[in-house]
Structure formats: structure tokens, C-alpha cells
Amino acid sequence: MAITMTKGQVGLTGNAAIAYAMKQINPDVCPAYPITPSTAIIEDFSGYVADGAVDTELITVESEHSAMSACIGASAAGARVMTATSSQGLALMWEMLYIASGMRLPIILTDVNRALSAPINIHCDHSDSMGARDSGWIQLYSETVQEAYDNLFQAVRIAEHRKVLLPVMVCLDGFITSHAIENISLIDDAEAKQFVGEYIPRQHLLDTDNPITYGAMSLPENYIEFKHEQSRAIAGSKEVVLEIGKEFGKKFGREYGLFETYRLDDADTAIVILNSAAGTTKVAVDALRKQGMKVGLLRPRLFRPFPFKEITAALKNVKAVGVLDRADSMSGFGGPLFSEVRSALYDLEARPKIISRIYGLGGRDYKVKDAVEVFGELDRIRETGKVETLTKYITL
């Protein structure tokens, strides 16, 4: 898809915007095995490769496992590496996701969120990226096409930061964001190139003057030290995410933090929700505010590492919180985002009441009325101080 840079805004799908950002970043290597609904990212980007618009070595491989394996090899050799996938594709990469993060390789992966089988479903939920939440990848979630586009540039800087050196996953909702056309502001090519900068790896396999080993055996004498350093790096990446989000805002007028709040400052009740469904929830917030209800929203952008201190501070004065997950952790206790938020709030002396609601699996519509119903339930909890049902499915 040829895109002509113009002043102002241009209408793009989420997939086209990601592909165009990849063109502007111009990675050294892109191993890929397309899968719905992320296929168009690689289709569009392959067009840029064919037209000579980028210098990227596009490697067409036989599976997603092979794609991430090739990413690891290329990154270890000193290349700037990017790829994209969804659902079963991400699941097939599982083994290699842990290897990429354990080797501290700054690979960038766009995950167009799609339900995991079975049964087979090609539509949106967050079971794929949530299944990989503990693999050591930084995870950024995107509400809009604009944010997905902007997140990709920031992901490169975050991953390659000397204090981080970890892979980053940029997530956007399958079909809802990936295939919907939105007006977005594109960054000038020269400014994009300047922002991401040149990648100079700290060490790599092709540096024969300073030989290193990747993937060596590590026994009980030292394995835990490797994991400790990896854990410290991902915990410390939170400050890097903030730093780069502010720098991006200063340059391009769109600043990003760890999460977004919407009409939360004086809210009695709040919904916490990821990605595109936050937009639907904001409509409900505005409608209920007109009725005099003090409701608000918190939308995490950074999920790994989880910014628990900052989220706790943002929610500490709310009386009741509903955490809405587009995935089920299969714990019998609620969704994965719920577990994180509930744990974050635990140490507050006056904790908000908190409930888990699982919605929209396999692409089921989440509507304004669904958000309104959750807010109604939260208001009853605020009045009575009692939670009748801790976790349940909605949008059934």
C-alpha cells in the first residue's frame, strides 16, 4: 500500500500504520510468517521491501517458531530486528519468546491480538499476549491506530536502551484496530529516523575482536543470577518507558505515560480496561457523568512491567473498581489484569472494593450498555459496601 506523506492527517488501518512505521524505522532484518489478522502488516511491508523503500532483509520462513528463531539469530548477530504475529502464531513462538528475553535481545514484535484456539476463532481477545505475559517481554497496549503507530517507534528506543536490552511487544486489537481506518498524524521520515537513531549493539556474535557466547548452559551455580539481572532490567524499564514517552511528546506533540486516566480525579467508581474497549467505556463515562454519576476510567498502556505503585496511587480514592479482562486466566478467580490490579491495591489501608468481569472473548461485541451495566453494579457496591459476585463473564 503506497502512502504519500502529507501534512495533517491520513486515513490508515492499524496494520497499514504499523507497516508504514516499520518502513520508516527500516529494520535490518524482518523474519515473518503471516497469520490473520496481522497478515496485512507483512504484506504491506513486503511491498516496501520489493520497491526498495527499505534496506531490510525480509526472511520468509516456514512457521512462527522459525520466525522468532530467525529474529533471535539476527539480533544476536547485531541486527535491528522486527516481526509481527497473532494468536496461534505467538503461541508457536512460546519457546523462543523466553530465549529472546533471556538472551537480552531488543527484538520488536507487533502482536495483533486474536483469540487462541480451541475452538478456532480469528477475532479479538487478549489470550495470546496474556499467555506470554511472564515471558520477559515488555508489553505495550494500544487503544487506537495512532497509539499503535506511535508505540512502535517508542518500542525500538525502549528495547535498545542500555538499561533495558529486552524485547518489546506492541499489542493492538485484531480487526477492531488492525482493520479499522482512522485518521492519524504521520511522523516525517527524517524525524522518525532521527528519533529511533542508529542501532549500535553493545555486543554481538560478529564482533570477532570481542568474542561472546549466546545460549550457553547455565547450571544452579549461576542461573538465578541471570534471571535476577533480567528481572531488574524489566522492572527498571518502567522509568525508560516514561522517559521516552515524554521525549516523544516533546518532539511530536503526543505524550505517553504508563497508563491513561479519563475523568478519574473525582470518581467514586472506575473501570480498568485495555486497548480499544477503553474508547467504548469513555462514551459510557461521559453519558453517566451527564446523569450526575462520578465515574471514571483507567487504561493501562504498559502491562509488563506492571506499574503497580502508580496504578495504586491513581485508584486509591475510588470506592469500587471493575477490572474488565478480554482473557480468562483459567484460575477460577478472575482475569489476568484483575489479578494484577487487585494485588496492587492490597496494601492500601482503605482499599476499593474490586470485581472481575470477563468480556468480549473471541471478538464478541463490547457495547456502551455493557460498560453502563458494570458501572451500575459498581455503584451498588459503593452504596452497600458488599460484593455479591467477585468474578463473572459478561457480554454472554
pLDDT tens digits for range 111-141: 999 999 999 999 999 999 999 999 999 999 9
Both 229 and 367 in a single domain? no
Based on the domain organization, do 29 and 130 belong to the same domain?
yes
Domain boundary among 252, 281, 300: 252
245 and 265 part of one domain: no
> Between β-strands 269-272 and 295-300, what pairing exists: parallel, antiparallel or unpaired?
parallel
Asked, for residue 115, whether it belongs to a domain, the answer is yes
Question: Distance from CA of residue 224 to its chain's centroid?
Answer: 27
Range of the domain at 343: 260-393
Grid coordinates representing 152 are 512502535
In single-letter form, the type of residue at position 147 comes to E
Q: Is residue 235 part of a domain?
A: yes
Distance between CA atoms of 279 and 318, rounded to whole angstroms?
A: 20
Q: Average model confidence (pLDDT) for the chain? A: 97
24-83 confidence digits (pLDDT tens): 999 999 999 999 999 999 999 999 999 999 999 999 999 999 999 999 999 999 999 999
The answer to whether residue 2 is domain-embedded is: no
* Per-residue pLDDT tens listing for the chain (396 residues): 555 555 579 999 999 999 999 999 999 999 999 999 999 999 999 999 999 999 999 999 999 999 999 999 999 999 999 999 999 999 999 999 999 999 999 999 999 999 999 999 999 999 999 999 999 999 999 999 999 999 999 999 999 999 999 999 999 999 999 999 999 999 999 999 999 999 999 999 999 999 999 989 999 999 999 999 999 999 999 999 999 999 999 999 999 999 999 999 999 999 999 999 999 999 999 999 999 999 999 999 999 999 999 999 999 999 999 999 999 999 999 999 999 999 999 999 999 999 999 999 999 999 999 999 999 999 999 999 999 999 999 999
Pair (212, 271) in one structural domain = no
How many Cβ atoms are within 10 Å of 276's Cβ, its own excluded? 29
Whether 84 and 169 share a structural domain: yes
Give the CATH number for residue 369. Answer: 3.40.50.920
Q: Sign of the C-alpha dihedral, residues 160, 163, 169, 173?
A: negative
Give strand pairing partners of 391: 356
Q: Is residue 1 domain-resident? A: no
CATH number of domain containing 100: 3.40.50.970
* pLDDT of the residue at 5: 55
Same domain membership, residue 244 and residue 268: no
Residue 300 lies in a domain: yes
Please indicate, yes or no, whether residues 315 and 242 belong to a single structural domain of this protein. no
Question: Is residue 355 one of the residues assigned to a domain?
Answer: yes
Among residues 252, 273, 304, the one where a domain terminates is: 252
d(CA 23, CA 144) in angstroms, rounded, equals 20
Q: Do 165 and 53 fall within a single domain?
A: yes
Instruction: Please identify, among 252, 274, 294, the residue that sits at the C-terminal boundary of a domain.
Output: 252
Residues 314 and 228 reside in one and the same domain: no
Give the three cell numbers for residue 29: 532484518
* 247, 265: one domain: no
Note the pLDDT tens digit of each residue in 141-164: 999 999 999 999 999 999 999 999
What percentage of residues in the chain have a pLDDT greater than 70?
98
Q: Are 382 and 320 within 8 A, CB to CB?
A: yes
Same domain, 213 and 313: no
Inside any domain, residue 70: yes
Asked if 78 and 225 sit in the same domain, the reply is yes
Domain assignment of residue 381, yes or no: yes
The β-bridge partners of 108 are 82, 168
State the total domains in the chain.
2
